[in-house]
Amino acid sequence: MIEFTDSFSQACVAEACAAFPELRNSLAVELILPMFVRPLNAMGQVIGKPIVAPNPKLSH
């Protein structure tokens, strides 16, 4: 999740994502998809914590 400290930053990121769809896709991969990557057993059931750790550079 991205946490903004002010509305100007939020608006800048929203405008950038609107202007550059590849940026939006990149953010989706970096921020959303890794939390769904988890180890599975042979039956497809989740058996552990997420494989990919959150990106520490994007959390600030």
Q: What is the pLDDT of residues 7-58, one digit of tens each?
A: 898 899 889 989 999 988 888 777 766 666 788 899 888 888 777 766 666 5
Beta bridge partners of 40: 46
Asked if the structure places residue 14 within a domain, the reply is yes
What backbone phi and psi angles, to 5 degrees, belong to 22?
-65, -30
SS3 assignment, position 46: strand
Q: Range of 29's domain?
A: 7-58
Asked if the structure places residue 32 within a domain, the reply is yes
Asked if the structure places residue 46 within a domain, the reply is yes
Asked if the structure places residue 28 within a domain, the reply is yes
Beta bridge partners of 46: 40
Asked if the structure places residue 2 within a domain, the reply is no
Identify the pLDDT of residue 34. 60
Which of 21, 48, 23 has its CA nearest to residue 37? 48
Identify the pLDDT of residue 60. 46
Identify the pLDDT of residue 20. 93
* Contact residues for 51 (Cβ-Cβ < 8 A; gap 6+): 34, 37, 38, 39
Number of independent structural domains in the chain: 1
Asked if the structure places residue 26 within a domain, the reply is yes
